[in-house]
Amino acid sequence: MYGAIIGDIIGAPWEFHRITTKKFPLFGADNGVTDDSIMTVAVADAVMNAKDPATTLRAWGRRVTIGDQRGGYGQRFINWLAAPTVQPPYNSYGNGGAMRVSPAAFFATSLDACLAMAARVTEITHNHPEGMKGALATAHAIWLARQKHTSAQIRAEISQVYGYDLSRSVDAIRAVHEYNETAAGCVPEALTCALESTDFEDAIRNAVSLGGDADTLAAIAGGLAEALYGIPEEIQIAAWHYVPETMRGVIGQMYADRN
């Protein structure tokens, strides 16, 4: 989960200043959390504390604000958040379900529970088949990594179950990738960035270097990379300075409850 938040923090400056190189500073004045991190914490709060996901996401969306220099919620999600009462899902096929789903994989005690939790926290907004598939595939991959499956094994299973093409290299993806906020155009690419990487940092650099929706690509890749490698302590400490105080308690609870 913290891996997804760190990916978001590192990717945030590059969402609208896209780069196609892995050589960039991890942290600086323009880093910070976006909607990806806020909603990841909201999902964690919901799954750990048996809260209604829709109510919880709406509460966190009102509680934590995003800096003006960083990207934020899509308009349809803003409308869903702003409504006076919980609204029905709006059939989104965007990458928003996948970006926030990692707590389901880290908190679950079985694959079935992981996928059930992932579906529950996704279907409240991203109930289009592609939106659901992106979130389930992300959670499934993280679960497999937590069970010590190899990158090759994860590629094979996610490709078979979800029909994603995970055979391309990061270099091949980068050569053709364009900014894309759909699950279908983002999740396979982000998972590949983690599966081809050599460590946590390399996964994040791969994701940002695609020149696309950098914070979300890095959030998805970061969740999987955490499960594959763990997170270096120096990166954990550096990123913590960008996490709002209001979000820190849920992150701490997530890791306390897992240990």
Predicted confidence (pLDDT) per residue in 160-191, tens digit: 999 999 999 999 999 999 999 999 999 999 99
| Separation of alpha carbons 113 and 62, rounded Å | 29
Is the pLDDT score of 67 beyond 80?
no
pLDDT digit string, tens, across residues 21-58: 999 999 999 999 999 999 999 999 999 999 999 999 99
Q: What does the pLDDT read at residue 7?
A: 98
Average pLDDT for 149-170: 98
Do 45 and 62 contact (CB within 8 A), yes or no? no
Residue 153 CA: distances (Å) to CA of 77, 107, 251? 35, 22, 29
**pLDDT value, residue 12:** 94
pLDDT value at residue 256: 86
pTM: 0.96
Q: What is the pLDDT of residue 186?
A: 97
pLDDT of 75 over the 90 cut: no
Output the pLDDT for position 71: 54
**What's the pLDDT score for residue 91?**
95
pLDDT in tens, 91-127: 999 999 999 999 999 999 999 999 999 999 999 999 9
Quote the pLDDT of residue 150.
97
Q: What value does the mean pLDDT of the chain take?
A: 95
Q: Residue 149 pLDDT > 60, yes or no? A: yes
For the cut 80, the answer to whether the pLDDT of residue 251 exceeds it is: yes
CB contact set of 192 (below 8 Å; sequence gap of 6+): 166, 168, 169, 170, 173, 206
Q: Which domain holds residue 28?
A: 2-258
- The β-bridge partners of 59 are none
We report the CATH number of the domain holding residue 8 as 1.10.4080.10
Q: Tens digits of per-residue pLDDT, 199-215?
A: 999 999 999 999 999 99
Cβ-in-10-Å burial (0-12, 13-18, 19+) of 4 comes to buried
Report the share of the chain in percent with pLDDT over 90: 90
Tally of domains within the chain: 1
**Is the predicted pLDDT of residue 88 greater than 60, yes or no?**
yes
Q: What is the pLDDT of residue 69?
A: 47
Identify the pLDDT of residue 254: 86
Task: Collapse the DSSP code of 93 into the 3-class scheme (helix H, G, I; strand E, B; otherwise coil) and give the result.
Answer: coil
